[in-house]
Structure 1
Amino acid sequence: MSLGELLLPLQFPFMQNAFLICMIVAVPTALLSCFLVLKGWALMGDAVSHAVLPGIVIAYVTGLPLILGAFAAGMTCAVATGYLTETSRIKEDTVMGVVFSGMFGLGLVLYVWAKPEAHLDHILFGNMLGVSTADLVSAGAISAVITLGLLAVWRDLLLHAFDPAQARALGLPVTALHYGLLAALSLAIVATLTAAGLILAIALLITPGAIAFLMTRRFAAMLGVAVAVNVTAMLAGTYLSFFLDSAPAPTIVLILSGVFVCAFLIRQRRVRAA
């Protein structure tokens, strides 16, 4: 294959936008994934990603920005889960399963009733090759807010993830950190709607952190490795999808899954050697 053929994807505007959205959403989702992995919030990311669907449909019907509806629905799911967990004997994972499945079902019912112009496949699985300039701007603004916010308080969030009681004893705003992380999670899912959709966004929010957790011993290094893995996987998946004639988002998820398997096997080999 010649150099011209290898660089062919870069010559198309829709591929250029796809590469840009990858670099934009890869950083905040990778950073968030580290905290979600440490806190054991994988199911929370899954719950919020499914729960934003009714917010999207309601925003479409009422003429509000879809981003606003998605964020409101995501936060509703997160707050409802926290309230039900604290006021009942039901475990958190069970509550999350009930809340997100109920909101996702509500979203599907509202979608069929409203018949919005946005295709359901694009909402669920993303439309990376149809990214517009407006999508890039909104995703860039959201990603910048999340990234700067996490980097500003990452040490506080780290202590909160490991030992909330100790964090409270030291005077840290535990409640603000808790709901701030949930808000960042909801915003990240909103930012990845166009790139990965609701279903596949969970892979971007969990797998990079899991890979970095296997490969590093220090949290600062974990953050860097997660970002590097996510950026590389997203760019590589988008690039390969052009030649494989496949959808970019599933290709990205397959690459991330393959890297995770390799990291796991290397980790197991090191443990046995030690």
Structure 2
Amino acid sequence: MFSNFIDGLTNYEFLQNALVTSIVIGVVAGVVGCFIILRGMSLMGDAISHAVLPGVAISYIFSINFFIGAILFGLFASIIITFISNNSKIKGDTAIGITFSSFLALGVILIGFANSSTDLFHILFGNVLAVQDVDKWLTIGIAAIVLIIVWLFFKPLLLTSFDPNMAKAFGVRVNAYHYLLMALLTVVSVTAMQSVGTILIVALLITPAATAYLYTKSLRNMIFLSAFFGALASVIGLFIGYSFNLAVGSTIVLTATSIFLISFLVSPKQIHLRKKVLRS
């Protein structure tokens, strides 16, 4: 079975593209996911991943690259959520729920006007085995830009994630970095459509980062571990999906979940916590 997978990598370009794309998406989703869970914004990742659906549908209707429409709608959704949260008594989760459901409903309606239902099905559930060379290089380019931005603005992102009030006291533009992170989240969500689809994007964003959080208290180490777990889940999930003719996006997510469950049982943090609970 493993030899068949290796033979496929040697002989089939589509599988090579799928492997490279899956690893790149796993790495960049793991990196951005660390900041998402530290800020308690897991629901935001879910909302944006679904809010891009109308943009994808419109892109197909007007025969333009779906990256354009999806990114525009994702940024628009994040701006709406942040504006409602900051300018009303409505809490963030309520604003997310309103925006998420509205954009999702709009996307479902627009799908009815789109001609290519098969492609939209792949957007919803992912089809990394259908990635072309241009998509692979576009994914690599976007991932490189995202990782460079995280590296350049690591310190302010770190400070605003752990203590936004202190960041304001030091003169850091907290809102600006919030919107920067939302932009990165949107771009990564659109990129991850190819591997896991809009339905499962939030799992690839959150699960590797949550797994890494079980092993370390350092954000820098957490980022490297999360990227590793994201890439590992992508490789193993692709192998399982290809070998057993299963939906690769789903197998990647289930692999990431399995790694989390194993880590939940064996990580030093959890072992120490269980001993503490037993002593008490």
Q: TM-score, normalised by structure 2?
A: 0.93
1:7 aligns with 2:6: yes
The separation in 1 between residues aligned to 2:29 and 2:236, in whole angstroms, is: 17
1:171 aligns with 2:178: no
1:234 offset after TM fit, Å?
Answer: 0.4
Which stretch of the first structure deviates more once superposed, 59-68 or 177-186? 59-68
Q: Deviations over 1:90-138 (max 9, x none)?
A: 1111110110111011011011023335533201011111000111121
2:197 paired residue number: 197
1:149 paired residue number: 149
The separation in 2 between residues aligned to 1:273 and 1:243, in whole angstroms, is: 41
In the alignment, is the contact (CA less than 8 A) between 1:21 and 1:136 conserved in 2?
Answer: yes
In the alignment, is the contact (CA less than 8 A) between 1:27 and 1:227 conserved in 2?
Answer: yes
The separation in 2 between residues aligned to 1:30 and 1:6, in whole angstroms, is: 25
Q: Which runs of 5+ in 1 are unaligned?
A: none
In the alignment, is the contact (CA less than 8 A) between 1:51 and 1:100 conserved in 2?
Answer: yes
Aligned pairs, number: 273
1:96-245 aligned at under 5 Å gives the runs: 96-116=96-116, 118-245=118-245
Q: Which amino acid aligns with 2:148?
A: L
CA change 1:4–1:88 in 2 (3 A) is closer
1:93 paired residue number: 93
The separation in 2 between residues aligned to 1:117 and 1:96, in whole angstroms, is: 27
1:74 paired residue number: 74
The separation in 2 between residues aligned to 1:4 and 1:61, in whole angstroms, is: 42
In the alignment, is the contact (CA less than 8 A) between 1:30 and 1:223 conserved in 2?
Answer: yes
Q: Deviations over 1:165-202 (max 9, x none)?
A: 11111122222211000000011011112121101111
Indicate the RMSD between aligned Cα atoms, in angstroms: 1.5
The separation in 2 between residues aligned to 1:173 and 1:63, in whole angstroms, is: 38
Q: Deviations over 1:126-158 (max 9, x none)?
A: 111100011112111111111110111122111
In the alignment, is the contact (CA less than 8 A) between 2:128 and 2:196 conserved in 1?
Answer: yes
Q: Which amino acid aligns with 2:195?
A: A
1:87 offset after TM fit, Å?
Answer: 1.9
In the alignment, is the contact (CA less than 8 A) between 1:128 and 1:194 conserved in 2?
Answer: yes
The separation in 1 between residues aligned to 2:87 and 2:4, in whole angstroms, is: 60
1:65 offset after TM fit, Å?
Answer: 2.3
1:272 paired residue number: 274
Q: TM-score, normalised by structure 1?
A: 0.95
The separation in 1 between residues aligned to 2:119 and 2:58, in whole angstroms, is: 15
1:4 offset after TM fit, Å?
Answer: 4.2
Q: Deviations over 1:43-96 (max 9, x none)?
A: 000000000011111222234321110000001110000111122211111110
1:16 paired residue number: 16
1:8 offset after TM fit, Å?
Answer: 2.5
1:256 paired residue number: 256
Q: Which amino acid aligns with 1:29?
A: A
Structure 1 segments, 4+ long, off by >6 Å, are none
